[in-house]
Copies of this chain bind each other. A is one copy, B any other.
Amino acid sequence: MAIRLRLLILLVAILCVESKYMVYNTSQTIVPGKINVHLVAHTHDDVGWLKTVDQYYVGSNNSIQGACVQNVLDSIVPALLADKNRKFIYAFFQRWWRDQSEEVQSIVKQLVSSGQLELINGGMCMHDEAATHYIDMIDQTTLGHRFIKEEFGVTPRIGWQIDPFGHSAVQAYLLGAELGFDSLFFGRIDYQDRAKRKNEKSLEVIWRGSKSLGSSAQIFAGTFPDAYEPPSDSFYFEIDDYSPIIQDDFNLFDYNVQDRVNDFVATAISQANITRTNHIMWTMGGDFKYQYARTWFRQMDKLIHYVNQDGHVNALYSTPSIYTDAKYAINESWQIKTDDFFPYGEKENAYWTGYFTSRPALKGYVRMLSGYYLAARQLEFFKGRSDSGAKMDILADALAIAQHHDAVTGTERQHVADDYARHLSIGYEEAEKVVAASLACMVESTPKTGCRSPCPLLNISYCPPSEVDLSHGKNLVVVVYNSLGWNREDVIRIPVINANITVLDSGGKEIESQLLPLANASVGIRNFYAMAHLGKVPSVTPEYWLAFSASVPPLGFSTYVISSSKRAAATSGIQTVHKSKGNQNNTIEVGPGNLKLIYSGKEGKITHYINSRSKVKEFVEQSYSFYSGNDGSEDLQASGAYVSRPNGTHPIKSDGQVSFTVLRGPLLDEVHQRINSWIYQQITRVYKGKEHAEVEFTVGPIPIDDGIGKEIVTQITTTMKNNKAFYTDSNGRDFLERIRDYRKDWRLEVDQPIAGNYYPINLGIYMKDNRTELSILVDRSVGGSSIVDGQLELMLHRRLLRDDDKGIAEALDETVCVLDECTGLTIQGKYYLRIDPLGEGARWRRSFGQETYSPFLLAFTEQDGNSWKKSHIQTFSEIDPSYSLPDNVAMITLQELEDGTVLLRLAHLYEVGEDKDLSVMASVELKKLFPNKKINKIAEMSLSANQERAEMEMKRLVWKVEGSSPEEPKVSRGGPVDSTKLVVELAPMEIRTFIINFSH
């Protein structure tokens, strides 16, 4: 042991001394009056991109990209121990952490608490800001922040979104200020914007991302002069990097200390010339750097030592926190920035707006599971968290990682996309067990086997549990769970094989139902994709969709029993119109309720939207086009996974076989249209009780026989005079005004009239004129725009044959294979269209938006005879039966945490001024929300629940802004929660986060 200890002491020497003859002075701190160069050592380790997250971690598949995160973390620890002045920042490392011994963990905790190792951003990943929903962003950040809090007792202070491809308002105010962050740094903004900001020294600003929350949720935001790498080619120090190292040994040739110092000083001065205050930050790292951390520190030690010896500028090891505090200490006033940083034009003709739509199937899967995860956590909470918590964690992790800026964005390689999907699928499978167990507990009087049997493939009309033969006395029980805080009525559609069936509601009363024949096109998709994903064609083919209307209480369920019957359910009336059948000048009116869609019988096209209640009547056309993808032959800038660069707009004409079939019934009418051979099904549904049209499109395989990649868009054309303006949401939350060919922050040079006007959509897009507003809501993130007045368009699918030169080195050419034959991926999705009188659209966008995010959760079981009703609860709500959430509030998180406390998040759904009735302070009565539980203690937390809100507010830096007057309008916020009354107030756009202790 003595020898071992002696060895230990010697060991430190290895780590502490770089060289026998030279001890570098790295202890420098800020020197006022000098240019202070903050050297921020960092590595940017994508959780999946060219390789899967697992491959990046262990360093396999290096032929694709030489990258091993384990190396980074293994080597950073001794490098930091070697010199206490050295600092490093890291954005995630949970996986490595899990593998470390307790002793290593102790060392790392010390490094974190001393500030040598700063954990920044702190989410599970550096999420994207365009294709992500704010609930997912919050969830993944919470997961990371709580982990860091538990392990290290620290709360990250810095937003570090260095790589995402444009930056959202929600990121700034919600996932920035509301987390308690003091600053937010990022790398990518429009090239024209950046040029102007360099000139104006406004790369660093105060960003006020929310109109509603204004100055109460602003943040110091800095974009780098360039990317997030060292400021010039001369300062890269990865193993094998090319930069000139500092050779300070007189015994060797090429001694170059003064040269290197001069280079450093010149580079610093040039950056100082475009930066406000005398503090500049150098991001000393990059993608998967620091694989042998010592290589960087060895050179930075020398730079700091010799540059400070030289004295022209001051160089120091720093972190974004130190840098932020230094900026704050100067007491400077900063420009205000509002709205967001979309779209991201990297350079002329390189607009990163294609990825808003890239990989629509993955985007759809993420969105579906996002809503599912919200409901599943509710159900887990109701049942009570047990060891099942671990099961839910898998989905939590998979969803968190899927928010990465090379995951849901669609900018990863194909095998990596497959890996994300695989993780999500495994997560879903595990979560589903929790859901089943929970539903069983709720439904059964005495818990038994439960009622599992979900239908994740319902989108391809495949649902084995509903496709049962009911002709021999079996009943099918459908349990319908509503995760919203409101009572809700919605039409359920499931495939069935019997025609003669009836539906009984929770009270045992037969309700209206409707059978819609399964279209041939749907059967084709069903068989092909079942074969592709399950390896077999289903043996039974259902003939019908059964539709019936379900009504479910808030946070509750209802059960419906489907059984055979002598007589058939109402089958839909069918009317098929073939264009080829000659000119039919008649018009066709579709819709069993207030909303009527008018089609021209001649062309089989929609012409008008008429709401008999609201008296809205609008001319409407719908069409498809494609943009041919630029092949990059001109300047290497092709259209690809990231970049949209249309090389021509091509309206998609009918191929002569346009037909449409109308199915009519008591609950809904459907219009089936075939556009061409690869948009061979579009179904427009108009429900009796709804005032929007639902459009289900089936696009693909996109043809590429002509060697040209294509982006498929659909346009809704009206005669509205929107005057270039339209509105898109920021991560599904605030709506931002967009004006075609215009940017608020600079005078735009238009080089890409289409791609340069595209914006990300997570909730919806709308436009208005002085009479009406037209809204479209989406079922996943997509790109959209208004390229000509009166028109909105969505990009639905993309298939491109060239790499767009952003590092992925693979074309975005998604295929699906059966046996050895692969064809282009077909995408099925929905959007929802509604036209309201001006000022009345928000209510639908907000409340129906929640419904699309949180569809009914269905579970199936079979029963023999009528025993079900006796042994099971038929309908139930977890909240007070007299209560539901206010129309302007949604519960976006309800989750039992590991320690038994409960995480509750309530969100006001409206912005200031958005709706004349609902953009007001709302109140939620917690006692009625949890009627069966006693709230013992409630603490309001920061958004990520890693610190109490009050503490966060106290620590927050208050920045000065240019030209701000003391009489700025007061921002409205809900008041403190009285622990007796337990009423939560929510001001417009406010999200409040609580940790609740319930009594047991």
Chain A, 248-262, contact with B by CB distance < 8 Å: what is the 0/1 string?
Answer: 010011100000000
Q: How far is the CA of A99 from the CA of B106 in the complex (A)?
A: 32
Q: Is A245 in contact with B292, judged by CB distance below 8 angstroms?
A: no
User: Contacts of A104 on B, CB cut-off 8 Å?
Assistant: 10, 13-14, 17
User: Contacts of A81 on B, CB cut-off 8 Å?
Assistant: 7, 11
Among residues of B, the one whose C-beta sits closest to the C-beta of A243 is B62
**Contact stretch, chosen from A72-80, A121-129, A723-731:** A72-80
Q: How far is the CA of A968 from the CA of B304 in the complex (A)?
A: 70
Q: Is A7 in contact with B52, judged by CB distance below 8 angstroms?
A: no
Among residues of B, the one whose C-beta sits closest to the C-beta of A100 is B20
Q: Is B78 in contact with A14, judged by CB distance below 8 angstroms?
A: yes
Q: How far is the CA of A74 from the CA of B78 in the complex (A)?
A: 12
Q: How far is the CA of A802 from the CA of B54 in the complex (A)?
A: 44
User: Contacts of A15 on B, CB cut-off 8 Å?
Assistant: 11, 78
User: Contacts of A52 on B, CB cut-off 8 Å?
Assistant: 253
Q: Is A294 in contact with B103, judged by CB distance below 8 angstroms?
A: no
Q: How far is the CA of A52 from the CA of B9 in the complex (A)?
A: 36
**Contact stretch, chosen from A63-71, A475-483, A711-719:** A63-71
Q: Is A17 in contact with B101, judged by CB distance below 8 angstroms?
A: yes
Q: How many chain A residues touch the partner (CB < 8 A)?
A: 62
User: Contacts of A70 on B, CB cut-off 8 Å?
Assistant: 298
Among residues of B, the one whose C-beta sits closest to the C-beta of A239 is B291
Q: How far is the CA of A468 from the CA of B99 in the complex (A)?
A: 79
Known contacts: A78-B78, A292-B75. The answer to whether A245 contacts B12 by CB under 8 A is no
Q: Is A98 in contact with B20, judged by CB distance below 8 angstroms?
A: yes
Q: Is B74 in contact with A294, judged by CB distance below 8 angstroms?
A: yes
User: Contacts of A422 on B, CB cut-off 8 Å?
Assistant: 253
In the complex, A997 has a CB within 8 A of chain B:
no
Q: Is A101 in contact with B254, judged by CB distance below 8 angstroms?
A: no
In the complex, A57 has a CB within 8 A of chain B:
yes
User: Contacts of A7 on B, CB cut-off 8 Å?
Assistant: 12, 81, 107, 110
Q: How far is the CA of A55 from the CA of B71 in the complex (A)?
A: 25
User: Contacts of A11 on B, CB cut-off 8 Å?
Assistant: 8, 11-12, 15, 78, 81, 107
Among residues of B, the one whose C-beta sits closest to the C-beta of A295 is B71
Instruction: Tell me how far the C-beta of A429 lies from the nearest C-beta in chain B, rounded to whole angstroms.
Output: 15
In the complex, A586 has a CB within 8 A of chain B:
no
In the complex, A19 has a CB within 8 A of chain B:
yes
User: Contacts of A384 on B, CB cut-off 8 Å?
Assistant: none
Q: How far is the CA of A952 from the CA of B518 in the complex (A)?
A: 93
Q: How far is the CA of A7 from the CA of B77 in the complex (A)?
A: 12
Known contacts: A66-B240, A78-B78. The answer to whether A254 contacts B60 by CB under 8 A is yes
Instruction: Tell me how far the C-beta of A595 lies from the nearest C-beta in chain B, rounded to whole angstroms.
Output: 48
Within 8 A of B (CB), among A4-43: 4, 7-15, 17, 19-21
User: Contacts of A58 on B, CB cut-off 8 Å?
Assistant: 245, 247, 249, 252
Instruction: Tell me how far the C-beta of A385 lies from the nearest C-beta in chain B, rounded to whole angstroms.
Output: 22
Known contacts: A11-B81, A99-B20. The answer to whether A239 contacts B66 by CB under 8 A is yes
Q: How far is the CA of A612 from the CA of B244 in the complex (A)?
A: 67
User: Contacts of A930 on B, CB cut-off 8 Å?
Assistant: none
In the complex, A589 has a CB within 8 A of chain B:
no
Q: Is B57 in contact with A252, judged by CB distance below 8 angstroms?
A: yes
Instruction: Tell me how far the C-beta of A255 lies from the nearest C-beta in chain B, rounded to whole angstroms.
Output: 10
User: Contacts of A241 on B, CB cut-off 8 Å?
Assistant: 62, 66
In the complex, A419 has a CB within 8 A of chain B:
yes
Q: How far is the CA of A103 from the CA of B18 in the complex (A)?
A: 12
Chain A, 419-431, contact with B by CB distance < 8 Å: what is the 0/1 string?
Answer: 1001000000000
Q: Is A67 in contact with B240, judged by CB distance below 8 angstroms?
A: yes
Q: Is A20 in contact with B101, judged by CB distance below 8 angstroms?
A: yes
In the complex, A59 has a CB within 8 A of chain B:
yes
User: Contacts of A107 on B, CB cut-off 8 Å?
Assistant: 7, 10-11, 13-14
In the complex, A242 has a CB within 8 A of chain B:
yes
Q: Is A9 in contact with B10, judged by CB distance below 8 angstroms?
A: no
User: Contacts of A68 on B, CB cut-off 8 Å?
Assistant: 239-240, 295
Q: How far is the CA of A70 from the CA of B240 in the complex (A)?
A: 12
Q: Is B10 in contact with A106, judged by CB distance below 8 angstroms?
A: yes
Q: Is A294 in contact with B71, judged by CB distance below 8 angstroms?
A: yes
Known contacts: A14-B77, A99-B19. The answer to whether A239 contacts B239 by CB under 8 A is yes
Q: Is B54 in contact with A252, judged by CB distance below 8 angstroms?
A: yes
Instruction: Tell me how far the C-beta of A258 lies from the nearest C-beta in chain B, rounded to whole angstroms.
Output: 16
Q: How far is the CA of A252 from the CA of B247 in the complex (A)?
A: 42
Among residues of B, the one whose C-beta sits closest to the C-beta of A63 is B242
Q: Is B98 in contact with A62, judged by CB distance below 8 angstroms?
A: no
User: Contacts of A60 on B, CB cut-off 8 Å?
Assistant: 244-245, 247, 254
User: Contacts of A101 on B, CB cut-off 8 Å?
Assistant: 13, 17, 20
Q: How far is the CA of A898 from the CA of B727 in the complex (A)?
A: 85
Q: Is B419 in contact with A239, judged by CB distance below 8 angstroms?
A: no
Among residues of B, the one whose C-beta sits closest to the C-beta of A241 is B62
Q: How far is the CA of A253 from the CA of B421 in the complex (A)?
A: 13
Q: How far is the CA of A889 from the CA of B658 in the complex (A)?
A: 106
Q: Is B54 in contact with A253, judged by CB distance below 8 angstroms?
A: yes
Q: How far is the CA of A338 from the CA of B70 in the complex (A)?
A: 50
Q: How far is the CA of A254 from the CA of B58 in the complex (A)?
A: 10
Q: How far is the CA of A59 from the CA of B239 in the complex (A)?
A: 8
Residue in A60, A77, A106, A244 whose Cβ sees the most chain B Cβ within 10 Å: A60
Partner of A292, one of B103, B252, B253, B292: B292
Known contacts: A54-B252, A60-B247. The answer to whether A71 contacts B10 by CB under 8 A is no
User: Contacts of A67 on B, CB cut-off 8 Å?
Assistant: 240
Instruction: Tell me how far the C-beta of A94 lies from the nearest C-beta in chain B, rounded to whole angstroms.
Output: 12
Q: How far is the CA of A62 from the CA of B419 in the complex (A)?
A: 35
Q: How far is the CA of A298 from the CA of B99 in the complex (A)?
A: 14
Chain A, 178-212, contact with B by CB distance < 8 Å: what is the 0/1 string?
Answer: 00000000000000000000000000000000000
Instruction: Tell me how far the C-beta of A534 lies from the nearest C-beta in chain B, rounded to whole angstroms.
Output: 21
Instruction: Tell me how far the C-beta of A245 lies from the nearest C-beta in chain B, rounded to whole angstroms.
Output: 5
Residue in A55, A75, A240 whose Cβ sees the most chain B Cβ within 10 Å: A240
User: Contacts of A14 on B, CB cut-off 8 Å?
Assistant: 77-78, 103-104, 107
Known contacts: A58-B245, A254-B54. The answer to whether A294 contacts B75 by CB under 8 A is yes
Q: How far is the CA of A99 from the CA of B75 in the complex (A)?
A: 21
User: Contacts of A247 on B, CB cut-off 8 Å?
Assistant: 54, 58, 60
Q: Is A292 in contact with B71, judged by CB distance below 8 angstroms?
A: yes
Among residues of B, the one whose C-beta sits closest to the C-beta of A292 is B292
Q: Is B62 in contact with A242, judged by CB distance below 8 angstroms?
A: yes
Q: Is A254 in contact with B78, judged by CB distance below 8 angstroms?
A: no
User: Contacts of A74 on B, CB cut-off 8 Å?
Assistant: 294
Partner of A291, one of B66, B292, B419: B292
Q: How far is the CA of A187 from the CA of B13 in the complex (A)?
A: 37
Instruction: Tell me how far the C-beta of A746 lies from the nearest C-beta in chain B, rounded to whole angstroms.
Output: 38
Residue in A10, A54, A252 whose Cβ sees the most chain B Cβ within 10 Å: A10
Instruction: Tell me how far the C-beta of A512 lies from the nearest C-beta in chain B, rounded to whole angstroms.
Output: 48
User: Contacts of A240 on B, CB cut-off 8 Å?
Assistant: 59, 62, 66-68, 291
Q: Is B77 in contact with A239, judged by CB distance below 8 angstroms?
A: no
User: Contacts of A10 on B, CB cut-off 8 Å?
Assistant: 103-104, 106-107
Chain A, 880-912, contact with B by CB distance < 8 Å: what is the 0/1 string?
Answer: 000000000000000000000000000000000
Q: How far is the CA of A295 from the CA of B62 in the complex (A)?
A: 13
Instruction: Tell me how far the C-beta of A148 lies from the nearest C-beta in chain B, rounded to whole angstroms.
Output: 19
Instruction: Tell me how far the C-beta of A657 lies from the nearest C-beta in chain B, rounded to whole angstroms.
Output: 45
Q: How far is the CA of A799 from the CA of B608 in the complex (A)?
A: 84
User: Contacts of A55 on B, CB cut-off 8 Å?
Assistant: 254
The residues of A with any CB-CB pair to B shorter than 8 Å are 4, 7-15, 17, 19-21, 52, 54-55, 57-60, 62-63, 66-68, 70-71, 74-75, 77-78, 81, 98-104, 106-107, 110, 239-245, 247, 249, 252-254, 291-292, 294-295, 298, 419, 422
A-B contact pairs, 24 of them (CB 8 A): A7-B12, A8-B12, A10-B103, A10-B107, A11-B15, A11-B107, A13-B103, A13-B104, A17-B101, A17-B103, A17-B104, A21-B99, A54-B247, A54-B252, A58-B245, A58-B247, A59-B240, A60-B245, A62-B241, A62-B243, A66-B239, A67-B240, A71-B292, A74-B294
Closest 3 CB pairs of A and B: A66-B240, A13-B103, A292-B292
Excluding A10-B104, A20-B99, 13 further A-B contacts by CB distance (< 8 Å) are A7-B81, A8-B12, A12-B103, A14-B77, A52-B253, A58-B249, A60-B244, A62-B241, A62-B243, A68-B240, A68-B295, A74-B294, A240-B291
